[in-house]
Structure 1
């Protein structure tokens, strides 16, 4: 993102709100004068500005986090756990408030925003069980009088870089686990929809988190690069497109950091002839057009076996006709895309499909919307007979465009999935248990759904793909999350003389 123009700066001074960073437990302007626009995509207007941090701003935030880490690292497990429980209760009680922020800045409909928050709360609840996942092991008398045990300790200050499509859920995948494990955090959310991150940080402070343990620094590439190279940042967690994930991984790794970088996807849904076609059609629409297709786990390609392809396409098209596209505050099914430029890029693939000889069954460019005419609208789009050589198939479009690729059968479908560069999520729809079992063994993808279209694991498993969908040391949340945010020590111990602790008849406490 570039510097704002003089005209835009004049507009700020005329009264447009500017969102500050959140550092050291309070709003903080930093030293940079740069700002960027935050749109309401359903109206097509700039509703506020957000500060864009300089390298020096990031350095100051890291210094404040480092100072806070010294105390938080030594806080008892009981104290850390109490903060997490309190945060969970506050978040659940005020989720509608957060959902309204998501709808305003991202555009997703209220029901989708609430679903995003619910999946984030799952990870907070998992973080409340931190004592079970950060404890070590003990082996007694490995040699005469010698015991060996291990313990897990926090890394220090960790960096999180989150994407625009899940401004609440993705931060919640990372910072609750990092904080519960005793780390301090510097979070850099997307500058396109940044307010949710501040809201979450303020709520953590209300839950009792000490100042400086969770910090939010807004910005563009300058802020990202500053985090990647800062010597006091011990790890980087990232979710975004594959090219950026690869850059994050390579740059942060070269600077000695642990990295978990979750990249892009091109998720397929294989529909076999014995599948329940109504169930499959429902799933394709739900997984293809939820959040306007701006999901790394969206189904963007349906692999339809030829014998049922015509029936499946007809069912999907009929369901698309019942969807209502518009302002997320009006009870619509699907909202706008995040920016005008992204909307235009996604819409351009419809022309590509036509040029490549595919059939545009439903063209979202002509959708009637329940919302402001200037919003960044593109309706659900269905394209049949897409060839795997087309850019419509090859590219991660990240919008409401669902492609139908016709296949000869099971082997053909799995071959197409496995030949792709991504390995994030996939699904099979079938009533044949043998085919489903074979699919889960043979397909080269990290997350698999069987008659489930969006196979996002629950919080006590871990999220992440294979191949070019994941770079780095660990998947997100679940057991991988606590492993990522802690480091192990192994201690070999011998005590020749027992000690006596004295008398105390009080009930044991864990303060």
Structure 2
């Protein structure tokens, strides 16, 4: 992004070049730490969105037919370029999202894990073979790409979340149209330029900037065969319903209300550290953030005291200045999160640490809200029932393990959860009984490694497959079974040279 006081026009990416578009519609892009507008992003009209999709569709046959050896070489080159220049991408994320640089760099690094996983695509696409399944008949299976796929990304992880999907999709032979959030759109354009430098052919990776009009085109255009989405549950439900009604595969990852169950035998210092890290990292704008601490038995007062002590030491400010926590992404979102604190206080919760009074190290017009800790929260309060998506940590008190487990399992979301205990039997029982898709044991943010798959249960996921890992490969490909019989063997000519892949 440009220096303060400058402005830039953030455009689409089609056929390995920038495309300004013709709609004339734009949206402002701001630096959350200053409140200043730093650029404007183009918003595609339907006609422009169709042109981007059709370009991707035209590029598919050649990319599909390119050898795995050549496709993998491009993946490795992209991986090396990303590793060399990831600090650039992290700084770009901080300038538009607001998260601190170390957190932005961690986002890029976790996304790169999926790139590295996708570099192994030849093995991941390898089918099975049965010789002489019947007399003189062989049978084998293969997986083939779908075609053009759409990715609709959220604002909170402008690099990592798209990288959950597009490395696997591209490596498997698909072409991609990425629709980033209009709040922080520059990371997608930076990634597109890196793909071009890595040697990706024209039209294989495209960026469609826009809002609902662009999203609707991805969900309805007949050339788009599959859509991956991450965002709030109401929108995820709409994306899934609309996409599937138009004949597409859809994986729509929705919202969350992640609980940490802290048992009486837990190391409370470890638990308090984990609650602060998981509750306030990235200003709580994580779908895997812990937002509800369930304290079992008589440990609540001590645990709340330890969390509060740590939360008060956090430094909130501009992500480029070495602070612990940055601003929220927009002023409207900051005000929305603060309103939940107001309502919780009115409902009888105790505001132990009040982020509304934070004194940040940043611009006066930045979108600030400091770490906030609420105690005495009830399950009927809006600060518990709703996904706040901000630095607000709620403490609920229960008497028994069973009561805590029932509280978690009764929640409509099932994205992530954690248990803190030194009892192996209790931990084993919890991970077996809890109705949540991703579980941590003394680990507050149990995001799986790239070779596993990411995704929750219940209202946190719409669709049958999770992101990356084996499920991701299966989502972006379809299986084919082949039965063969050859009556006359054929022979090639002589060539004593060592065979090479190409």
- Both proteins in one fold, TM over 0.5: yes
1:247-396 → structure 2 map (5 Å cutoff): 247-396=238-387
Identify if the C-alpha distance between structure 1 residues 140 and 38 changes in structure 2 by more than 3 Å, giving closer, same or farther: same
Q: 1:94 matched to which residue of 2?
A: 85
Q: 1:213 matched to which residue of 2?
A: 204
Q: 2:43 matched to which residue of 1?
A: 52
Please state if 1:403 is matched with 2:379.
no
Q: 1:8 matched to which residue of 2?
A: none
Deviations 1:49-105 (Å, cap 9, x if unpaired)?
Answer: 000001111110011111111111111101110011011110011011001000000
Decide whether the 8 Å contact of 2:255 with 2:287 is kept in 1.
Answer: yes
Deviations 1:453-491 (Å, cap 9, x if unpaired)?
Answer: 000000000000000000013100011111111111111
TM-score between the two structures when normalised by the length of structure 2: 0.98
**SS at 1:462 equivalent:** coil
Cα distance in structure 2, aligned partners of 1:214 and 1:56:
19
Q: 2:217 matched to which residue of 1?
A: 226
TM-score between the two structures when normalised by the length of structure 1: 0.97
**SS at 1:37 equivalent:** strand
Please state if 1:506 is matched with 2:493.
no
Deviations 1:310-353 (Å, cap 9, x if unpaired)?
Answer: 00000000001110000000000000000000000000011111
Q: 1:112 matched to which residue of 2?
A: 103
**SS at 1:399 equivalent:** coil
Q: Which residue of the other structure, out of 414, 426, 437, is the alignment partner of 2:417?
A: 426
1:30-49 → structure 2 map (5 Å cutoff): 30-49=21-40
Decide whether the 8 Å contact of 2:269 with 2:306 is kept in 1.
Answer: yes
1:156-195 → structure 2 map (5 Å cutoff): 156-195=147-186
Cα distance in structure 1, aligned partners of 2:480 and 2:470:
18
Cα distance in structure 2, aligned partners of 1:36 and 1:306:
50
Cα distance in structure 1, aligned partners of 2:345 and 2:91:
38
Decide whether the 8 Å contact of 1:258 with 1:473 is kept in 2.
Answer: no
1:126-141 → structure 2 map (5 Å cutoff): 126-141=117-132
Decide whether the 8 Å contact of 2:151 with 2:177 is kept in 1.
Answer: yes
Cα distance in structure 2, aligned partners of 1:293 and 1:191:
20
Aligned residues: 498
Cα distance in structure 2, aligned partners of 1:423 and 1:458:
19
Q: 2:12 matched to which residue of 1?
A: 21
Decide whether the 8 Å contact of 2:262 with 2:420 is kept in 1.
Answer: yes
Where does the alignment leave 5 or more consecutive residues of structure 1 unmatched? 1-13
Cα distance in structure 2, aligned partners of 1:452 and 1:161:
29
Shift of 1:283: 0.2
Shift of 1:306: 3.2
Identify if the C-alpha distance between structure 1 residues 385 and 15 changes in structure 2 by more than 3 Å, giving closer, same or farther: closer
Shift of 1:15: 7.6
Cα distance in structure 2, aligned partners of 1:409 and 1:324:
35
Decide whether the 8 Å contact of 1:269 with 1:429 is kept in 2.
Answer: yes
**SS at 2:314 equivalent:** coil
Q: 1:471 matched to which residue of 2?
A: 462
The root-mean-square deviation of aligned C-alpha atoms, in Å, is: 0.9
Indicate the larger mover: 280-289 or 487-496.
Answer: 487-496
Cα distance in structure 2, aligned partners of 1:72 and 1:326:
45
Cα distance in structure 2, aligned partners of 1:133 and 1:93:
26
Cα distance in structure 2, aligned partners of 1:501 and 1:430:
66
Q: Which residue of the other structure, out of 235, 246, 252, is the alignment partner of 1:244?
A: 235
Decide whether the 8 Å contact of 2:6 with 2:38 is kept in 1.
Answer: no
